[in-house]
Structure 1
């Protein structure tokens, strides 16, 4: 690699492909990728981020931990910077001490998988492979994005939720051809479909919405913000946390007016007879009518009835955003949306039924032959303990305590060492002040990280990791039809090493070097994994170039596209429910689940119900009268690139949206600095006043890096200082980020 000559090459990322201009060993410019019809602006900040002063320059060990294993100073201690060999020796000795003294069940392997679109240098796969080689670790189930849905939906449809999302749902082409009414609970947000796991190259969703408009399709965005769907969609404002109540009211209209498809319910579902008395108020004296729902949702009965009639008389697709299950009782809107779709009788029809996560990431809605990606084998984990991913603070604070999860009674393990690679929990976890207290409990925390993120600042041992632009890799997503050679664009910054080199060094010291590497360096692993991709391509009749050809070409578009690829599971089930049953206990869509009912969970009974969250507009108080929603940011992916974005004039603190009347009552104008607070903490934000948000609701995007411990107010505006760290229910134990009340005052 010539470090001095000016070069332009293409690489891939979770927000798509782009051209990178390098000169003198630095990234100096990024440019859009020509085939992308709607390239995101995110890569513009990349040169500043990769070369930012917040890069971890060399191995760093917290001085107080090294001297006395002190834990109290995490987040405000200073570091020593030993040579790599010494730092690896210390980390290996600590890993060995913990596993020999407490067992591998005392090690938690944390990672979130978004560190790189490259398939070999995938931090989650690297750290889990390493920990399995040394005897295993406590793992996590699900994701912050969809953990609740991953628990509830297999009970309803019998499919893994990710399979349901990526392999069963209709494509945008099918929707354009068949759907007459698109009902979007939580919207389909344009900023979200700019990113996707493993990368999304052609950002086409906005174009599809233009096509929807041309067909005359009615597109209804139901939620607290007009901006949650593309321009031109009808907006039905609805209070956050009340979607299940609105769905019940729509269902009540269908049943009351004889619009329910009972033939479909009888043939394809089970449990309608158990659910109907609740819906009609026969068992509790409270019919779930539009009049019942109006004070909960803020939606008039007239609008509910009109929408229900339209849904029953047109080809209707109900879509449900991932955000709806990131709230207390998040299982209920997902389960109720399936019930409502079943009552319409359109599940399994092209462009009808229900779909989950359209617009959550860019790959959903694309249609092509699947050939899979490239995955570094992680091996077998001998440690049986697995926690729901959003319960990490509970685990650290309550070792040995019992908890319920999806029908099982479990005990939290006693974690003595946390190894985190490829993630920043002090961005995406809830109630960050509580997480900081939990973070003081383990004896040792080790982190691989390119930047001094809030998580790295709270670690005892920090290894400087390369970014995807400082190493070679292959970019490939199962949700995309492009294949990229991701060349090493610049030398490693400072003393950074890739995760594979770090774990290889630790593995050697722990006597499992050959087990971890299998004798391969990164180039040999890439060639090995790529050969498997070529074999799968040949088996599917797809021309995949050789690795040398891909290196020479930089990128190729694979011939994966199809004309309206059939979605076999629900199509086959509708055609022959006896011969092609679902994988539920009944073989049908479960409106009532005997299995869930047997768990005896009052917060998730045997059929969908309305359960008011602890914190939502219906429980607002004088001290906390506003409901906080915390959507994903539009200028980055999670908290990546935040170091450089925070340097942009006026970009921090983060912007909070307030309704005009809420702002006027508080004497707040657009541009004012405000304090957003509740009993859990306080953050600073910059106000933007708008009419495009429901009164009583404020929206503050995630992603800002939270400051150090002991601050009275987070200066950057991270909403997770304010959110509740409670599970969605005993069934799902997902995050309840969107169930939070706050107050806002002018600074």
Structure 2
């Protein structure tokens, strides 16, 4: 009987040799398996495991708040579990009694665990709610502006992602696929909660074989692999909204807009049209106007608009486009452009918000209501948009706006983090380093000695997915997986649940947190609830024991073609949207009523804070794109042999156009410094005509590795360079893709990489 485990990167089969030693192999039913997850058991990762509870030396000797500037620079003292749990419980009680629960930030930002019970974010939130509450975060770094915007103009992102038109439907009906920012199959190696069959590459190739024509718009060419030629229209980063406005102007000017669809299914087009035509601001949004901004020839823009109107057209936008200043605008404008074409709700037409962003989009599988650990009630009302953590720590009490509301940052004394690495996800890491000195205590559950773990005060060793019993389930991925332990816990590592149960007992909240159940009891309860919910959808799941025996349940028998917003198009009265008008909101009275100058009530072009057409290019003439890596998810498994094999001399690759490299005297493999006023990092040159001139690309996820003597990040982490400001006063989303830099070098004698070195670990009273 084959055993399985589930992960972000897919389902893997567990093989054992004659001695019982486990290894992983690709899932036999996956047409395009990701190799990333095969390396979860690498020895290079095992040596970095947190094996015992550890406390930063100054904190242990002098108490909370001691020498925060030494976080990441001084030894840890290894202590017993009893000592560590006593210290954590006592500190939580101290902060709660002295400052209230609104002084505790519940940090957890990583990719959603494939195991639905041992999901660190759910566990830490449930625990903190059981002991009085915590300050939470809203939205995500990946999709902050989009998540805030879309419920107001169409539907929540989770709902839209689950109903994206399926790949088979597009292969049958789509004639023209226009991608703003490509369809990066490397990103689609993963799905939140785990991946089943990888379908993006297969879907694109099938479409191309059926004669679909592809147009890829943006500064990068190799993020759309169809197995055939695709037209590349080079456009400056952060200018897509201007190009879409010009396409819309042509549709309006030449009578190609579907005014019947706009009148029947949308609201506010007339208000937006006054801006589009120039009646409102004196500037018609013509292809010539857009060409000066985007660099796209006006004639090609006009021709593309006509082609889109003449064919069944799917418009797609990359999530990266909304990770920028005014990031709401490209998403809003894409929906508006698709509405003007009038094909929303038709097979193969309309829009996609991130085909290629994860494996989920385009799935034909049913939306299974998978296991969900209840998190209880949070008694604390304070929150932050997730990417505003440095603002919160640096400016307690300062005001901020979010989706029309007015709030103030809380005064955080204790950060409790389980799941994720803020020294990967966040922008302007030098600023975060300063902010990280504010809390009196930082507690981490961690499996590995990551940069964030090294900057904590108390580190508690947690088990990995491969060391636990769990249930693997992901929305619309088509499988339920019985995840049995592949290996024993490393060192003294414990499940997050067992750690929190022990802390809850010390704090008088054991009953609230555990409800009298151990891990196995919870797994049985959650599975039984899933069976009941699935049965109401006509999906019969086996009994728990039979599920465990089988190891895998396929839901493919319930697959069906999907067409996004098909029911809404057919009958708005019967299937209205959950917007104020029940329709697609091209103009939103609600958003206009917020009175925000950086996010008015309809899509507009706003000049980014940093871009190739603006000031600052004399000193920093290159636009930096910080995209997802091919060989890992975010920073996960960066120390694996598979990830490090993609580096040169231990550093991430900086992709740069050959002419830009030549102008700086740079050759492949040279170590260079990439810099702006926020920071400097080192990377290895890789010349590539797949990025346009004036643009460089540096993957995210290299473990943060600053040189303590110079402050230069040595490993190639672009987030020492990226901009840490909210996308707008509406969403406060991440603005990482708005970033100008310069490149210098070669560096004659680069310092050694130390990201994967263990901290000094001192023996304590165990």
Shorter-chain TM band:
over 0.9
Could you list the per-position Cα deviations for residues 266-313 of structure 1 after superposition, in whole angstroms to 9, with x for gaps in the alignment? 222222222112111222221111111112111111111111001111
* TM-aligned CA deviation for residue 629 of structure 1: 0.5
Change in CA separation of 1:25 and 1:716 when aligned onto 2, cut-off 3 Å = farther
Using the TM superposition, name which of 290-299 and 642-651 deviates more. 642-651
SS of the equivalent of 1:618 reads coil
Structure 1 counterpart of 2:315? 318
| Post-superposition CA distance 1:105-127 (Å, at most 9, x none) | 11110112526311110000000
2:603 corresponding residue in structure 1 = 608
Q: Match for residue 641 of structure 1?
A: 637
Q: Distance in 1 between matches of 2:345 and 2:42?
A: 48
Q: Which residue of 1 aligns with 2:751?
A: none
TM norm structure 1: 0.96
| 1:694 corresponds to 2:692 | yes
Normalised by the length of structure 2, the TM-score is 0.94
Q: Counterpart of 1:323 in 2: which secondary structure?
A: helix
Deviations 1:59-101 (A, max 9, x none): 0011101222312211112111110011000000000111111
Q: Could you tell me how far 1:572 is from its partner in structure 2?
A: 2.9
Map of 2:207 onto structure 1: 212
Aligned to 2:663: 665
Cα–Cα, structure 1 residues 23 and 401, in superposed 2: closer, same or farther, change >3 Å?
A: farther
- Which of 667, 672, 675 aligns to 1:674? It is 672
Q: Matches of residues 399-478 of structure 1 in structure 2 within 5 Å?
A: 399-478=396-475
**CA separation in 2, counterparts of 1:603 and 1:290?**
24
For the structure 1 residues 91 and 601, does the alpha-carbon distance in structure 2 shift closer, same or farther, using more than 3 Å as the test? same
Partner of 1:703: 701
Structure 1 counterpart of 2:83, from 77, 82, 86: 86
* 1:293 aligns with one of 290, 294, 299: 290
Q: Which residue of 2 aligns with 1:525?
A: 522
Please say if 1:37 is aligned against 2:31.
yes
Distance in 2 (alpha carbons) for counterparts of 1:591 and 1:501: 49
Q: Distance in 1 between matches of 2:683 and 2:510?
A: 48
In the TM superposition, structure 1's runs of 4+ consecutive aligned residues that sit over 3 Å from their partners are 20-29, 645-651, 708-711
CA distance in 2, matches of 1:647, 1:401: 42
Q: For the residues of structure 1 that align with 2:706 and 2:93, how far apart are their CA atoms?
A: 30
Q: Any idea what the Cα deviations from partners look like across 1:541-593, whole Å, max 9, x if unmatched?
A: 223122222222222312454331455xx323322334433222222211111
User: What does residue 590 of structure 2 align with?
Assistant: 595
1:556–1:586 Cα change, 3 Å: closer
| CA 1:49–1:135: 2 relative to 1, 3 Å | farther
**Which residue is equivalent to 2:116?**
119
Q: Match for residue 629 of structure 1?
A: 625
1:54 to 36, 48, 59: 48
**CA distance 1:714–1:382, shift in 2 (3 Å):** same
In the alignment, structure 1 residue 577 sits paired with structure 2 residue 575 = no
Partners of 1:126 and 1:563 in 2: how far apart? 34
CA distance in 1 between counterparts of 2:648 and 2:568 reads 54
8 Å Cα contact 2:110-2:421 kept in structure 1: no
* Secondary structure, counterpart of 2:435 in structure 1: helix
SS at match of 1:295: helix
Alpha-carbon contact 2:113-2:192 (below 8 Å) kept: no
* Contact residue 52 and residue 643 of structure 1 kept, 8 A: no
More divergent stretch after superposition (586-595 vs 96-105)? 586-595
Alpha-carbon shift at residue 134 of structure 1 (Å): 0.2
Compute the displacement of 1:26 (Å).
9.1
**Residue aligned with 1:391, SS:** helix
The 3 A distance-change label for structure 1 pair 733 and 407 is: same
CA positional deviation for 1:536: 2.2
1:654-694 CA-partner distances (Å, limit 9, x unpaired): 01100111111001111111111111111111111011111
Distance, in Å, in 2 between the alignment partners of 1:592 and 1:86 is 58
In 1: Cα distance, 2:563 partner to 2:315 partner: 19
Deviations 1:226-278 (A, max 9, x none): 11111422222211100001100101111111111112222222222221121
User: Partners of 1:583 and 1:39 in 2: how far apart?
Assistant: 37
Q: Distance in 2 between matches of 1:663 and 1:28?
A: 46
Contact 1:656/1:688, CA 8 A, preserved across alignment: yes
What are the Cα deviations for residues 413-445 of structure 1, in whole angstroms up to 9, with x where unaligned? 111111000100100100001011111101111
Q: CA deviation at 1:622?
A: 2.1
Change in 2 beyond 3 A, CA 1:26/1:604: farther
| C-alpha deviation, 1:50, in angstroms | 7.5
The answer for the alignment partner of 2:173 in structure 1 is 178
Counterpart Cα distance in 1 of 2:83 and 2:707 = 29
Following superposition, the deviation at residue 162 of structure 1 comes to: 1.4
Alpha-carbon distance in structure 1 between the residues aligned to 2:17 and 2:466: 13
Deviates more, 1:427-436 or 1:19-28: 19-28
Q: Which residue of 1 aligns with 2:162?
A: 166
How many Å apart are 1:709 and its aligned residue?
Answer: 7.1
